[in-house]
Structure 1
Amino acid sequence: MTVASTPHDDLPPRLTRLTFHGPLSEARATGMVRRLAATRPSTVLDIGCGWGELMLRLLDALPQAQGLGVDLREEDLRRGRHNAKARGLTERVRFVRESAVGTRRGPADVVLCLGASQALGEGLGPALRELRRLVADGGRVLLGEGFWQRTPTEAELARMWPGASATDHHDLATLTDLAVAAGFRPEWIETASLAEWEEFESAYQADTEVWLAANPGHPLATETRARLDTHRAAWLTYRGVLGLTYLTLVPTTT
């Protein structure tokens, strides 16, 4: 029997063009995995993991390691579980739907927190202190965090996300100093390139843009068009203004 389609069956797939949920190239990810694997961790904790692509790659490189990803979006967690099964990692990784605020999931040898420090609570300083609590001595934290490449103007802030403020991010030097103050030394400091940003932001919307071009009369087209146009305008405004750094942090011992 053929089941009649509903008006929403033709919605686009979500984020299929993205490998990582952030501006991260294959080359940079390979280097990160190699550097983190060299410490021979046995446990990996991914805060705000999404579908946990970098964690899965790290587990691929470490046949004895166990991984745990924590996030609140079940759709992304399902994608992570599916990818783990396809790679034969089901016995070594779990994806758990829960808040990371005050989590007792640590300590772990490697803690990943890629664009997700807000999952640990309000403010970067407290989030960094939480990361120090969650990482084992001798381990590593890989933090992906936004920073201002230059101070945005008021006109630029008005075209970014709702309520955008110059206080939403620090500059890179201040951000790194906060990590040191929280009990880390920076082993590696790198920043996403403009090419990585463009790849990410284009892929973020590509599925929906193609769908909208083919379905301009769909009941959700007006809402979808407004969302796409708003996000694109914000991205093209913070392009070259908002950066993203990847800090590989070593916990100091007391």
Structure 2
Amino acid sequence: MTAATTPREDLPPRLTRLTFHGPLSETRATAMVRRLAATRPATVLDIGCGWGELLLRLLAAVPGARGVGVDLNAADLERGRRAAEARGLADRVEFAEESATGTGRGPADVVLCLGASQALGDDPVTALRELRRLVADGGRVLLGEGFWQRVPTDAELSRMWPGASADDHHGLPALVDLAVAAGFRPEWTETANPDEWEEFESGYQADTEVWLAANPAHPLARETRERLDSHRAAWLTYRGVLGIAYLTLVPTTA
């Protein structure tokens, strides 16, 4: 049986251990929602939403607010729709399978973009300009963006993702400066801590690792093993080197 014809129920489970698709704790997410909800947004736009967990929590915290999540992963979007239905939010949220490049979905009172700036542009400068276009005056952007905690060595870069370069990310001060230059003031600056990273990276692979241990002769076992081992090697290399900044940004007005 080939991978193309393997029954879906026989495939490894996907990301069921994760609440958020990123290194984000319950404590931090709760504080983020509280701060954003205090601005009383009427509209929320989530770029690269995945299953939109933070989007749904914000809508639940602001009765009457409406939201749109944009992503290209149909399975994640369906997970978001099921969650919205279960929480009584289906009539206030749309999960749209579409590209965010040049999107006309804004302006929104709150724009979420967590680990998904690449959906808006090839570099942070372009993405930040797009976020400024997409957020309404007086609104908020919550940006989750990678940064180097220290400049990686060439040896470290060679063990990260294919083609990894020191130019792939900025340091945190430079990242915040780019946000200011794009037309924002940083209301809140925070970074994922080691516990959040370890919970995310372990949860990212856990289901599939357990499946692989029980299915070593499966037609997809070799491909799955190589993918898991490659990702784990990259993570254990960028652990403590790559960070995630969560910037709550206020747009400046002319």
Q: So what's the TM-score if we normalise by structure 2? A: 0.97
Partner of 1:167: 167
Specify the SS of the correspondent of 1:9.
Answer: helix
Q: Measure the CA separation in 2 of the matches of 1:192 and 1:175.
A: 15
Shift of residue 122, structure 1, vs aligned partner:
1.4
Specify the code of the residue in structure 2 equivalent to 1:23: P
Q: Measure the CA separation in 1 of the matches of 2:205 and 2:129.
A: 34
Partner of 1:224: 224
Specify the SS of the correspondent of 1:41.
Answer: coil
Specify the SS of the correspondent of 1:77.
Answer: helix
**1:194-231, Cα deviation, whole Å (9 max, x unpaired):** 00000000000000000000111111111111100000
Matches within 5 A, 1:10-159: 10-159=10-159
Q: Measure the CA separation in 2 of the matches of 1:151 and 1:137.
A: 35
5+ residue gaps in structure 1?
A: none
Shift of residue 123, structure 1, vs aligned partner:
1.1
Q: Measure the CA separation in 1 of the matches of 2:163 and 2:37.
A: 40
Specify the SS of the correspondent of 1:101.
Answer: coil
CA RMSD of aligned residues (A): 1.0
Specify the SS of the correspondent of 2:10.
Answer: coil
Specify the code of the residue in structure 2 equivalent to 1:139: G
Q: Measure the CA separation in 1 of the matches of 2:8 and 2:81.
A: 25
Q: Measure the CA separation in 2 of the matches of 1:72 and 1:172.
A: 28
Q: Measure the CA separation in 2 of the matches of 1:217 and 1:105.
A: 46
Partner of 1:246: 246
Give the direction of change, closer, same or farther, for the CA distance of 1:8–1:89 in structure 2 (3 Å limit). Answer: closer
Q: How many residues align?
A: 250
Specify the code of the residue in structure 2 equivalent to 1:81: R
Give the direction of change, closer, same or farther, for the CA distance of 1:8–1:56 in structure 2 (3 Å limit). Answer: closer
Percentage identity across paired residues of the two chains: 80
Q: So what's the TM-score if we normalise by structure 1? A: 0.97
Specify the SS of the correspondent of 1:243.
Answer: strand
Specify the code of the residue in structure 1 equivalent to 2:160: M
Shift of residue 9, structure 1, vs aligned partner:
3.4
Specify the SS of the correspondent of 1:64.
Answer: coil
Shift of residue 12, structure 1, vs aligned partner:
2.2
State the 4+ residue runs in structure 1 displaced beyond 6 angstroms: none
Q: Measure the CA separation in 2 of the matches of 1:56 and 1:7.
A: 31
5+ residue gaps in structure 2?
A: none
